Structure 1
Amino acid sequence: MARNFNPPLLFLTTLALAFSFILSLSPHNAAATSYEISTTVLYLTPPSLHQAHQQVLSYNPKTTIQQKNQSNPTKTPFPSFFSLSLHPRDSLFNPHHNDYQTLIHSRLDRDSARLNSIINNLACKTRHRNITAPIVSGATQHSAEYFSRIGVGQPAQQFYMFLDTGSDITWLQCKPCDQCYKQSDPIFDPRKSTSHKSLTCKARQCKKTETTSCINNTCQYNVFYGDGSLSAGDLMTETVSFGSTGSVKRVVIGCGRFNIGLFVGAAGVLALGSGPLSFHSQIKASSFSYCLVNRDSRKSSTLEFNSPRPSDSFTTRLLKNPEQTSLYYVEFTGINVGGKNVVVPKSTFKIKKNGEGGMVIDSGTAITRLEPGAYESVRDAFRLLTKDLKRARGPTLFDTCYDLRGMSEVEVPTVSFEVGEGKLWNLPGENYMIPVNENGTYCFAFATSNFPISILGNVQQQGARISFDLRHSILGISPQKC
């Protein structure tokens, strides 16, 4: 049967299809139809300088409850489980800032010093293969952010020590001291400890690190920092105690006789790096974990050894970088913003043969740093989904800030890390949108590393129980466990 041809109807049909096709190509409709934007509510609590600086711990160790509990710790070769209180840096040291903005600037300055130390050390090892660079600690003179209290000696003398996952030698200032900075506790006097013993040059521990030397048959250590600070002295073995949970004998510790740097009241560094002389390696701990509270919080949390990983943890692999053995690298596979995977260079999370690349997880770096290309992609994705928020100027480190004054809450796109087998670690909004003053300015708390390395900072780790299973090279992440 013959069909009637209707030109006007065909024209209208063609026009409708073309208009529909044009609409489908528009940016707004493309974003709306390709995926549903994932958001979270950020509750805006005005930051307070008073809150950040209150409850500064006493400089008199005799007044602490921990010291009373540690007077007669149980002696055990290797405690099956023990924990230490973990405090933000500002609980120990009150720098008397004039306002919250200057406090933030001081934190970011310390963070830049920390980043430069890691990069300088890595650059030395990757560009000058025949030069052995000194180990760079996570507690450079302006950078360590969390600390615990331990007992050293017999009877135990109590000390605040900076937690550092990027350092391999635990050390503290010792008498007699040729050069010491001011610390909150009395300087350790080995002559008052019955368990003190100097380490000889023949001791196997003296040969396990490249930072040692030998003088008069005494094993000496020298730890240099990227900003010019240092600690040098002799290695000793001592009894170390952990609250009322026990003690361990013959732990190798640096007895610092010459120390330069503003270590902000702490007696030294509690090294949790991946080297053979790190603290957990010596006490035979198969795992350790920490939970970092917000640095403006009144709360403390715990540093735990040999504790079981929380049942709700999701896991990924801990990786080794042969060119940077002190640091922990974590296997991430991607970053999501607003529920959509951000396209970043494939090399971002891969450790190259020359030691560059990869993602370091670090307790001393505050703000997560990404390789330049990856950072720009993540930042641009976040900006695209926050066009309705008023932009503002923030500190030099941040190039994406917002004026949220007068608001009690705001909806922001989610930010997530892809961890192992497609699992997502969804960050709380306060872990990537942080206040930088008391006037309602919030900034996107990611930045560029300006170097082929990425670092997962402690601001992004806040609130989660981070577990290092050293025996199986697994990192566990359990959100909201502080």
Structure 2
Amino acid sequence: MKIFIGMPPMKTYASLDTGSDLTWVQCKPCTHCYKQILPLFDPQKSSTYKIIGCNSKECELVRDKTCDKKNVCEYEMQYGDGSYSTGDVASETFTFDSTSKKVDNISIPQVIFGCGHSNDGTFSNRTAGIVGLADSKISFINQLDKQIKGKFSYCLVPNNDLSPSSHPPNTTSKINFGSKAVVSGPNVLTTPIIRRDTDIFYYLYLESVSVGGKKLEFNSPQLMNSSSTANEDLGNIIIDSGSTLTMIPGKFYDKLESTLVEMIKGKRIEHGPLPICYETKSIVNKIPKIVFHFKDADIELLPMNTFAKVDDLSCFSIVKGNSDFAIYGNLQQMNFLIGYDLVNHKLSLLPTNFFLSFSQLALVSSRKAKTNHDLDGFTLDLIHRDSPLSPYYNPSITPSQRLRDACHRSFSRASFFTKASIHPTTPFKHDIQSDIVPIPAEYLMKISIGTPPRETFAIADTGSDLTWIQCKPCTECFDQIFPLFNPRKSSTYKIIGCHSKHCEAVGETVCVRKNVCQYEMHYGDNSYSVGDIASETFTFASTTSKTNKKVDNISIPQVIFGCGHDNGGTFNNFTAGIVGLGGSKVSFIKQLDKQIKGKFSYCLIPMDLSLPFSFDPNITSKINFGPKAVVSGPNVLTTPIIRKYPDTFYYLNLKSVSVGGKKLKYFKSSQLMSSSAAADKDLGNIIIDSGTTLTIVPEEFYKKLESTLVEKIKGKRKKDPSNYFPLCYETKSVVNFPKIVFHFTDAEVELLPMSTFAEVDENLTCLLIVNGGVDGLAIYGNLAQMNFLVGYDLVNHKLSFLPTDCTKH
């Protein structure tokens, strides 16, 4: 949505979100902001900008707020995907472009919004923030209540018509406010909007769904615990303009699917991500009428609302969702004028005709490569994002801020790991999105791609599988400093065809054009990459041996990877993509299985994030592959790697933790117990991850650990102002910290002091093992791994630790 902020007005773009309440944009000065194409809003250059005080009624409307020493109301927005925005609550004039030449632009003074000085996450570099359209007092909708009287509507342009037809290329969807948002006429259908305690989402009540005249009663899932007695049995589905597909509970979906299959007489084709697909030609004029019976409103859907064309197939676009959650998505809302009346708690739907072209859905595909090139093992530089050698390095960021940034990334990453392991059998595993891939990791690898080689940087991520980089031509890409890879200028680039064994071996592939195998990666934080599956030569920069003898660059031909033509999300402009080092078949590790025989290791240099670098800044961490990755010697500690779902992650078994000699039995994480691997049901209770900074343990065990530490440490406790770290002390008051040992199966790993406590602010030293929540997933982070040579043997399912001075490795 194009908006203008301040006086004089400054143009920018913000994302419309019916699931968010506070409107915010990135502002100067920005201590930690994601990259955006348009200039940051500078409040000092606006004559109408006004800070909101702590004791004002406007500040009281903000849910997550604090007050600083200058009596400024500060907000902190934490989103479910780990994205965030923090800054000052203020008022400002917002101006909106008129859609008609006859109407002047609309200026609205004194809009309460967030001026974000620290923001990061999944936000595209093309947006400056969010316009909150949810149903809460601070949302844009409710702030404009006097002007729009609780009314807004939108009409979504259909982009999924099975019968392509021409339309003006400049046609866009519209959103209306106030009197222009009123939906009226003889064909209007109206249903109640149900208020819930969260006062964020828009709930409807779905009674049944008809398929070809056969009515199926809809089972009402309880979306969340509501104290509302009058409506406790109502509000069983959310209407959301931001969700593409309609998602319904499993039992009801099974009934809907069987009824639909009975009625459609066409040639059914298996197509993994979408379970109900047919040859398009075989079902022309055979799709049964589908009606959603909301309370007081029977919504008859058009074929374009229910079936999407995927290559030569037509697939049902209503999918099986979480058993306790239902969403009415935007494909089913297209070609309807949908009006929200929040005063009378009514939603109106008016069938509206647009004649627009059809666009296809790109689904997930990926592939493991087979290579014949023999390697005697090789070693690469592994660059920490906060190292002076890293393109991410920002010398202006203070050491304490660097640690806090790392802390946030840890919690974000843990959130997505948890989502992946809570639902090992969820249908989303086979849907459009994959939710097992977390936010990109902490380390970079310098790589060269193609022939001749083109140098770039990519994120080395043990929590990701598919390797991909941004490629020309790029229709929608995040900014990157290095030039985009141009496959046309490489003599070794080769597209993978749809019917090749490489594409077919995956089982879930899609062909959208010219027999090209295409992938679509959706990450847990809503970052994404879409493009072609191809093979290419990857070259890795040489390193220097201990004898200062230079090693030749290593070229690996026919690596299967993704050439991304549409990419966006949390990716920094210093990276071109991801090198997937996870445990699944498509990962870089598995593709090189013949060469490296399932072995890799790394040695992470000790980086005390609370202090300036105390060693040569030109020293980097190393990652080793193949024979050079073998960890051996009398001091090696070895523990089993447990095979679990999702197979991306590397699971270990933690038996106990000792604090100053006192052994605490470790409580197993409940999520990992949901694994279907019966033989390992009592094992695999913690993930080892090079991409997570902090070590994270479940809440009950953390409480036991913290109380034991408090008993042992004789110092003055001090509160962390950011509330990230619950156990902190005045630095000067503590001389020594107790020894902490992690007792894995067959391996007792003693942590270094710098791996357990760090000075996160002036005279504030905090524990770097943190509380992951009641159902949180346990993660053994990279601070705990520093100054250890950590070796992965995926053939024998063993992980080895060897205490090592990694600056000399």
Q: What TM bracket, shorter-length normalisation? A: 0.7 to 0.9
- Note if contact 2:417-2:777 (Cα within 8 Å) is conserved in structure 1: no
Q: CA deviation at 1:131?
A: 5.6
User: Which structure carries more relative contact order (alpha carbon 8 Å, separation 6+)?
Assistant: 1
What are the ranges of 5 or more consecutive residues in structure 1 without an aligned counterpart?
Answer: 1-74
Within 1, Cα distance between the matches of 2:447 and 2:488?
19
1:289 correspondence with 2:585: no
Partner of residue 424, structure 2 = 125
Q: Give the counterpart of 2:414 among 106, 115, 132.
A: 115
- Note if contact 2:538-2:559 (Cα within 8 Å) is conserved in structure 1: yes
Partner of residue 64, structure 1 = none
Within 1, Cα distance between the matches of 2:397 and 2:641?
41
Q: CA deviation at 1:130?
A: 7.5
CA RMSD of aligned residues (A): 2.4
1:397 correspondence with 2:697: no
Inter-CA distance 205–396: structure 2 relative to 1 (3 Å threshold): farther
- Note if contact 1:82-1:242 (Cα within 8 Å) is conserved in structure 2: no
Identity of aligned residues (%): 29
Partner of residue 690, structure 2 = 363
User: Rg larger in 1 or in 2?
Assistant: 2
Inter-CA distance 209–414: structure 2 relative to 1 (3 Å threshold): farther
Within 1, Cα distance between the matches of 2:800 and 2:483?
37
Q: CA deviation at 1:410?
A: 2.2
Within 1, Cα distance between the matches of 2:581 and 2:748?
27
Within 1, Cα distance between the matches of 2:632 and 2:403?
33
Q: CA deviation at 1:215?
A: 1.6
State the secondary structure of the residue aligned to 2:665.
Answer: coil
Q: CA deviation at 1:347?
A: 5.7
Partner of residue 373, structure 2 = 77
Q: CA deviation at 1:310?
A: 3.1
Within 2, Cα distance between the matches of 1:365 and 1:337?
23
The 5 Å alignment of 1:262-273 reads 262-264=570-572, 265-273=574-582
Within 2, Cα distance between the matches of 1:354 and 1:371?
21
Q: CA deviation at 1:128?
A: 5.6
State the secondary structure of the residue aligned to 1:269.
Answer: strand
Partner of residue 247, structure 1 = 555
Partner of residue 218, structure 2 = none
Counterpart AA for 1:373? E
Q: Give the counterpart of 1:279 among 588, 603, 609.
A: 588
Within 2, Cα distance between the matches of 1:415 and 1:404?
19
Within 2, Cα distance between the matches of 1:192 and 1:173?
14
Normalised TM-score (structure 2): 0.47
Within 1, Cα distance between the matches of 2:673 and 2:421?
12
1:305-347 Cα offsets, whole Å, 9 max, x none, are 01221323210100111x3111110133221111221133356
Counterpart AA for 1:377? K
Q: Give the counterpart of 2:641 among 318, 325, 339.
A: 318
State the secondary structure of the residue aligned to 1:458.
Answer: coil
Inter-CA distance 281–135: structure 2 relative to 1 (3 Å threshold): farther
State the secondary structure of the residue aligned to 2:648.
Answer: coil
Normalised TM-score (structure 1): 0.77
1:89 correspondence with 2:385: yes
State the secondary structure of the residue aligned to 2:639.
Answer: strand
Partner of residue 448, structure 1 = 771
State the secondary structure of the residue aligned to 2:783.
Answer: helix
The 5 Å alignment of 1:71-470 reads 77-90=373-386, 91-95=390-394, 97=396, 99-125=398-424, 132=431, 134-138=434-438, 140=439, 143-209=440-506, 212-216=509-513, 217-243=515-541, 244-264=552-572, 265-284=574-593, 285-286=596-597, 287-295=599-607, 296=609, 297=613, 298=617, 299-306=619-626, 307=628, 308-311=630-633, 312-321=635-644, 323-345=645-667, 351-353=673-675, 358-386=685-713, 388-394=714-720, 395-405=722-732, 410-421=735-746, 423-437=747-761, 439-450=762-773, 451-470=775-794
Partner of residue 39, structure 1 = none
Partner of residue 296, structure 2 = none
Inter-CA distance 325–269: structure 2 relative to 1 (3 Å threshold): same
Within 2, Cα distance between the matches of 1:206 and 1:97?
46
- Note if contact 2:421-2:671 (Cα within 8 Å) is conserved in structure 1: no
Partner of residue 50, structure 1 = none
1:396-450 Cα offsets, whole Å, 9 max, x none, are 2210011114x7x8211111111223x411000000101212x121111111222
Partner of residue 307, structure 2 = none
Inter-CA distance 129–231: structure 2 relative to 1 (3 Å threshold): closer
Within 1, Cα distance between the matches of 2:501 and 2:423?
27
Within 1, Cα distance between the matches of 2:658 and 2:792?
24
Inter-CA distance 313–192: structure 2 relative to 1 (3 Å threshold): same
Inter-CA distance 348–97: structure 2 relative to 1 (3 Å threshold): farther
Counterpart AA for 1:426? E
Counterpart AA for 1:89? R
- Note if contact 2:600-2:791 (Cα within 8 Å) is conserved in structure 1: yes
Within 2, Cα distance between the matches of 1:130 and 1:200?
24
- Note if contact 2:471-2:564 (Cα within 8 Å) is conserved in structure 1: yes
1:93-112 Cα offsets, whole Å, 9 max, x none, are 13465533332222222222
The 5 Å alignment of 1:9-24 reads none
Within 2, Cα distance between the matches of 1:98 and 1:419?
36
Inter-CA distance 214–426: structure 2 relative to 1 (3 Å threshold): same
- Note if contact 1:76-1:246 (Cα within 8 Å) is conserved in structure 2: no
Inter-CA distance 227–475: structure 2 relative to 1 (3 Å threshold): same
- Note if contact 2:559-2:591 (Cα within 8 Å) is conserved in structure 1: yes
Q: CA deviation at 1:78?
A: 2.7
- Note if contact 2:428-2:434 (Cα within 8 Å) is conserved in structure 1: no
- Note if contact 2:696-2:769 (Cα within 8 Å) is conserved in structure 1: yes
Within 1, Cα distance between the matches of 2:752 and 2:563?
41
- Note if contact 2:693-2:782 (Cα within 8 Å) is conserved in structure 1: yes
State the secondary structure of the residue aligned to 2:424.
Answer: helix
**Greater alpha carbon shift after TM alignment, 186-195 vs 259-268:** 259-268
Within 1, Cα distance between the matches of 2:505 and 2:710?
48
Counterpart AA for 1:273? G
State the secondary structure of the residue aligned to 2:631.
Answer: coil
Within 2, Cα distance between the matches of 1:452 and 1:181?
31
Within 1, Cα distance between the matches of 2:522 and 2:668?
34
Partner of residue 280, structure 2 = none
The 5 Å alignment of 1:48-87 reads 77-87=373-383
What are the ranges of 5 or more consecutive residues in structure 2 without an aligned counterpart?
Answer: 1-370, 542-551
**Greater alpha carbon shift after TM alignment, 457-466 vs 124-133:** 124-133
Within 2, Cα distance between the matches of 1:77 and 1:352?
40
1:376-395 Cα offsets, whole Å, 9 max, x none, are 21122111111x11111223
Q: CA deviation at 1:278?
A: 0.7
State the secondary structure of the residue aligned to 1:111.
Answer: helix
1:5-50 Cα offsets, whole Å, 9 max, x none, are xxxxxxxxxxxxxxxxxxxxxxxxxxxxxxxxxxxxxxxxxxxxxx
Which structure features the higher share of helix residues?
1
1:265-318 Cα offsets, whole Å, 9 max, x none, are 111111111111111211222200111223444331211101221323210100
- Note if contact 1:348-1:371 (Cα within 8 Å) is conserved in structure 2: no
- Note if contact 1:348-1:454 (Cα within 8 Å) is conserved in structure 2: no
Within 2, Cα distance between the matches of 1:325 and 1:455?
15
Inter-CA distance 127–199: structure 2 relative to 1 (3 Å threshold): closer
- Note if contact 1:366-1:457 (Cα within 8 Å) is conserved in structure 2: yes
